[in-house]
Amino acid sequence: MESSFSELNIIQEHEEEDFMISTMLGSADEGRLEDIEDLLMDVPNINIDIHNKHLETALHFASGAGHLDVVLFLISRGSNVNCKDKHDDTPLYWACRQGHLKVVEGLIANDADIHTRNKQLRLCLRTPNQEEQDSSAARIPIGIVIAVSYIARTNHLTGQTCLHAAVRYQRTEIIKYLCQAGADVNAQDQRGETVMHMCAWLGLPFEICEVLCSHNSMQFSTRNKNGETCMHVAAGRGSLDCLKCLLKYGADINILDKRKSTALHLSCHCQHLNIVKELLVHGSCHMDAVDQNGDAAIHIACHAAILPLVQLLSANGCNVDLINKSGLTPLHIASKQGNTEIVRCLLLAGANVDIRNKSNITAQMIALARGKNNISDLLTRITPRSSMNFETRWVLRSALNFASDGEVVREVASAGEQDMEIYEKRKGHEQLD
């Protein structure tokens, strides 16, 4: 009999506790301050930080819902301003995430910690060695790697500060306030990413990026655990506003990632033509920088067979005769793929058709072996002139009354209007030299 009474008492206590939790948290969420006051009057010994199974308190709910009066009341009654839920999110994190500036101000005025991070996962993943990384990089296109990285980052928000939350949810005024209040703009989450990495991944507007970039303490060279800076991420993701802001505030346009790729390499890999244009407009961009494979941007553009990219790089004066570690020039690559328009574009940019790869084979031989007869014929017609480089031909141009280059142009007369524009632009580059 006594056992039955004991069990009933336990059940009754649990029911009473559940009632108090639901009343306290529900009232905080809905901003019913009077109901909270009544509950505290009826149950004076109640724990002000009573929580549900997710460790969420009334202060969390009031902060997330934007009820400043409830927030200040709970703090005045002893609520822990830095209490954490099961994700280690504080009331300040909730307020930043939901965009309640007044609540953010109230919490910080009452000693909320702006540097606290939420929970970090215990990752049980083995880091691949360099050989595995290199072989994987050779098999998986950079664009796919970047897309997978984006999905992973947007689904695992760990080790982040309240500033990360404000940036992720584009709370511009809160971002400004947190920066003024001393938030660390260079704080890194579990993946080693700063708020500028987040701006780049999410493609956030220029206004938000500028608030962060203009901060005196901002460090643009910080790398995440994949060795990427925010410049690399912006270029790979095609985040134009972020990239423009980074360039405006002095981020290194030529900084290398772990594959020795620059922002230009990554934007070409991912075929972001607008990013490539923006980078090339910037005078300090090294167009002919090579990655770990010896590929310059022009090699990547030819591998991807993206004619507008090849046209853009050629028109801006890139070296079309660079040889990568495989012994290939852009012309070898385009001939192997059978892309006639790209071959024409490279020829108009002055590509040397006589360069041989490691097997002592020219681009014309590659085209012939692969049955690309139109390209083979075109390269054969150009070959007699190819012993002269592009600069030499421009010197001879004046002496020969411009007839020599007229012959080259006629050899590729079927080139489109865009390629002819490239020819004229390229001519301008060479004359300036």
pLDDT of residue 40: 94
Dist. CA 83–CA 75, nearest whole Å: 11
Answer for the pair 356, 325: CB distance below 8 angstroms, yes or no.
no
Distances (CA, A) of 51 to 23, 24, 316, 414: 11, 9, 63, 75
Q: Please tell me the CATH code under which domain 292-433 is placed.
A: 1.25.40.20
| Distance in angstroms (rounded) separating the CA atoms of residues 28 and 294 | 61
Read off the tokens for 61: 């709910």
Q: 113, 92 in Cβ contact below 8 A?
A: yes
pTM: 0.79
Residue 319 phi, psi (nearest 5): -80, 110
Tell me, what's the pLDDT at 421? 54
pLDDT at 432: 39
**The two domains 2-109 and 292-433 share their CATH topology (first three levels equal):** yes
**Cα dist from 69 to 38, 74, 162, 396, whole Å:** 15, 9, 21, 83
State the Cα–Cα distance between residues 17 and 255, nearest whole angstrom. 58
**pLDDT number for residue 17:** 73
Tell me the residue type at 104: V
SS3 (DSSP) at 313: helix
Indicate the domain borders of the chain: 2-109, 292-433
Tell me the CATH class for 2-109. Answer: mainly alpha
Handedness of CA 206, 209, 212, 217 (dihedral sign): negative
**Measured between alpha carbons, how far is 162 from 166 in angstroms, rounded to an integer?**
6
The pLDDT value recorded for residue 120 is 74
Per residue of the chain (433 residues), what is the pLDDT tens digit?
A: 455 545 445 445 556 678 899 999 999 999 999 999 999 999 989 999 999 999 999 999 999 999 999 999 999 999 999 999 999 999 999 999 999 999 999 999 999 999 999 987 654 433 445 454 444 444 445 554 444 454 444 445 689 999 999 999 999 999 999 999 999 999 999 999 999 999 999 999 999 999 999 999 999 999 999 999 999 999 999 999 999 999 999 999 999 999 999 999 999 999 999 999 999 998 899 999 999 999 999 999 999 999 999 999 999 999 999 999 999 999 999 999 999 999 999 999 999 999 999 999 999 999 999 999 999 999 988 855 444 444 434 333 333 233 334 444 444 444 444 544 554 555 454 443 4
